[in-house]
Structure 1
């Protein structure tokens, strides 16, 4: 039996050398508050690429200043940021990995304090570098300020900002783009009835709640090459008993997104509602990916509590996902892919020369 983890995957014009992918993880490292990636981003992404990952997905990257989660988050709303990202992309490519970028808008969860700090989860006031947030409806996230409901001009700006950021991503040399529609951020806020109370064409029915996302898929597809894959990350469920976003709705919107030019889906969960219990166990989100693949008839990756090569391989061998995204486990072991090849008995030709004395080489 061959290891599916190490089977290349071709999506449009991009071949990914394996199916062990770096989940987009916020770094909160732009300490000048200008959205500019710097040496931390180069070293962090480069470490994963040298460690054998097939795809290195950059963190949630704001398509405008107000799209960031925190003032320390990275951005792609100007050419200077594009040029800094190009340096990161070039090194990732030099190690044989593909480089992706997750384009994002935080919506009502923006203007937060820096992640992993005591203040996180509260709105930072403008006097400290925060901003007024926007959302589908004037409904606050618990613990944060009430956002401003987006009007027609605001909706158009969001679509334009995603398009402009996608164009810069192409210019920076990224291999693929992921649209962030998960974890309670703006596009997820539109999708879920819990946060979308609109009565116009962007609220109510599933078709209406998905409208903004699909408009963004259209715009991004217009500005990127035909050969460039387009991913979308969804939260597969809000983890509430009634009235929230569901796996079945996720599958339907995935199929609509494919019709508009999306190629691949990254299925996570939660993030919209705070203070709820989620039973987190090994591979707890894999069933969501499985359902979305089957009902939406799409390709999708699993993410969440995937921690061993054997577990990751079993998910693929059982046909439950087409690839795996790893976050915390890759943070603990950036060389996970090299170790996985050793444990699964797979010979690979991309172990960096300085690493070949290691026991897994």
Structure 2
């Protein structure tokens, strides 16, 4: 039986401590270290499941593993756990969807003693749910429930690994055209539906981050660059934004498909990939320095500053299509501005009502209209 979840995985500091440069041993707190696969379910000796992708530890902790002198501090937001999705692409073009929660975990006494790491140190650790189903919201909710159980003062009513084993082994993929699949994690009920066979492709994401990071003109420029199959680099200091915006723009170009290199969240040590000559779409944390790269022809989409830069001109969409698209986007995103002069009450004996304007909270209807 094919299940929603392929793996539950734990990644972090392995028994052999190495820097990202490959140097063995502990070289201080300010150095980044290689992540390793620490634990998984199903176990590695399970014959019915292929092993997790070998690049998984590097991708789920894209900056590497960092050491800290302290753990979680409720007064310091930089110590809070981080929840974010990543997407991996296999050689045949199929995608693997991973929900991640990274947090500071105490370094074991054995490793600290073996590598002379200061006592009471902490290091990055990441728990992950791996799936073939692009259900970003469900994956995040399920993993956050597991994380809460793991660190809850009262714990779980069952051993945590029993809960994980049940999820991975017994929650089936939903069947198209049938009822949704329901499953529980402790007292939390979750559900997932099969993607519809007809209509637009399934998208279990909100397009709101995309339209909040980029204004209408930059959104159109970004859209055009994707259609022209340029080399595209997204920058943000939020891992989630890089993945969600990349996924959103790929949905917006339907019925076309992005068929080139696709790495929504590039691991920091892979920064040289940006010099690749072929089309790609990659996301890179804004803290990574790219000043030593040529960047010729790369379309850099800065999500933090609503800015797009490139050394090569991006030709505009021809008129009148450009004006029509821009007008439709403005109506959707800024209805109060577009319709500010529209009289909102009916007049005479006419039953016709001019469209009412307002700022409804962003929802699935907005996503559908945008697509």
Q: Which TM class, normalised by the smaller chain length?
A: under 0.3
Larger RCO, structure (CA 8 Å, separation 6 or more): 1
Point out the structure with max Rg over C-alpha: 2
Q: TM-score, normalised by structure 2?
A: 0.24
Higher strand share: 2
Q: TM-score, normalised by structure 1?
A: 0.24
